[in-house]
Amino acid sequence: MDPDTDIGGPLHKFPVTNQSAIVGARSDDQVVRRRAFDTILAGYWKPAYKYIRLKWQADNEDAKDLTQGFFANAFEKNHFAAYDAGKASFQTFLRTCLDGFVSNERKAGRRLKRGGDMDHYQLDFASAEDELASHASSTLSPEEYFHREWVRWMFTLAVDALRRRCDESGRAVHFQLFERYDLNDDNVSYASLAAEFGLEQATVNNYLAAARRDFRRIVLEKLREITATDEEFRTEARSLLGVDVK
């Protein structure tokens, strides 16, 4: 098939299932804006922290303050509302803003102190530090590193959401199978899982397929939340998943 085939009509549209937080960040309604900001914060704080540690060679305390400061400043001054989807992806925009913020802070010789008059977010920096320690060396450029960590964080959040959904819907076994087969590094077979869980192999097949289907849906929902337009959504889906999502 050739991608340049021009198909008219609405078929390119992927159904909008979630409100975009990027769009919400432009809202005049403070509540909507706060909710949108929380979504952006949840989706980006960890890649941002690791990026500051790697690119800006900040120590962990400095990186924590800069991460907190960056997001607090962005919310206070409504920086994310200035995002133009026609110019770059939101991810690139946020990284550029982050670079600008850290650069300015360094030039000004400031050291942000937590607990001041700025917002303070409860972020699990300890886990980010543990992860950094386990894969500190990298041949990637800082930009590639930021992207990869963003992808990792997106999938981590999706896994967490899948776990919650499975627990809430009484399908804990679905998630346990998914965890054993798709998340753990040890090699297990459908047959060994069937024996371990006391299930038919066909049932393992079905449960895993259902869990993967839900996982895919969650990933796309999260992606939809942090992209502004259909085009950006598709571009990020290509970048995140390696496939076209129409």
Partner 1 sequence: MKWLSDDRLNHLRSIVGNPDFSSTKYRFVKELGSGGMGTVYLAEDTELDRLVAIKVLNTPEVTDDLRNRMIREAQIIARLEHPGIVPVHDVGTLPDGRIYYAMKFVRGSRLDEYAAQGVSLRDRLRKFQAVCDAVAFAHAHGVIHRDLKPQNIMIGSFGEVLVLDWGIAKVRPRMNTDEHRSEINPCSSVSIRGNTSHGTVIGTRDYMAPEQARGEIDQLDERADVYSLGAVLDFLLKDQPKVGKAANAIRLKAMAREKESRYVSASELSADIGRLLDAEPVTAYRENALEKVGRWVSKNRFLVLLVLAYLLMRIIFIFTSRP
Question: Which residues would be at the binding site for partner 1 (CB under 8 A)?
Answer: 1-9, 11-12, 14-15, 17, 127, 130-131, 134-135, 148, 151-152, 155-156, 159-160, 179, 182-185, 205-206, 208-210, 212-213, 215-217, 219-220, 240-246
Instruction: Write down the least CB distance from residue 125 to partner 1, Å.
Output: 13
Q: Is the Cβ of residue 2 or residue 28 nearer to partner 1 in the bound state?
A: 2
CB 127 within 8 A of CB 45: no
Helices (H), 10-89: 21-24, 30-55, 60-76
Instruction: Write down the least CB distance from residue 223 to partner 1, Å.
Output: 10
Instruction: Write down the least CB distance from residue 161 to partner 1, Å.
Output: 11
Q: Is the Cβ of residue 9 or residue 170 nearer to partner 1 in the bound state?
A: 9
Q: Is the Cβ of residue 1 or residue 136 nearer to partner 1 in the bound state?
A: 1
Taking Cα atoms as reference points, which of 60, 155, 33 lies closest to residue 114? 60
CB atoms within 10 A of CB 149: 24
Report d(CA 34, CA 191) in Å as an integer.
48
Q: Is the Cβ of residue 74 or residue 208 nearer to partner 1 in the bound state?
A: 208
Instruction: Write down the least CB distance from residue 170 to partner 1, Å.
Output: 20
Instruction: Write down the least CB distance from residue 212 to partner 1, Å.
Output: 5
Report d(CA 222, CA 23) in Å as an integer.
14
Burial 169-206 (b: 16+ CB within 10 A, else e): eebebbbbbbebbeeeeeeeebeebbeeeebeeebbee
Q: In three state form, how does the secondary structure of 147-207 look?
A: HHHHHHHHHHHHHHHHHHHHHHCCCHHHHHHHHHHHHCCCCCCHHHHHHHHCCCHHHHHHH
Instruction: Write down the least CB distance from residue 38 to partner 1, Å.
Output: 17
Report d(CA 192, CA 176) in Å as an integer.
14
Q: Is the Cβ of residue 90 or residue 178 nearer to partner 1 in the bound state?
A: 178
Instruction: Write down the least CB distance from residue 155 to partner 1, Å.
Output: 5
Q: Is the Cβ of residue 102 or residue 158 nearer to partner 1 in the bound state?
A: 158
Q: Is the Cβ of residue 81 or residue 132 nearer to partner 1 in the bound state?
A: 132
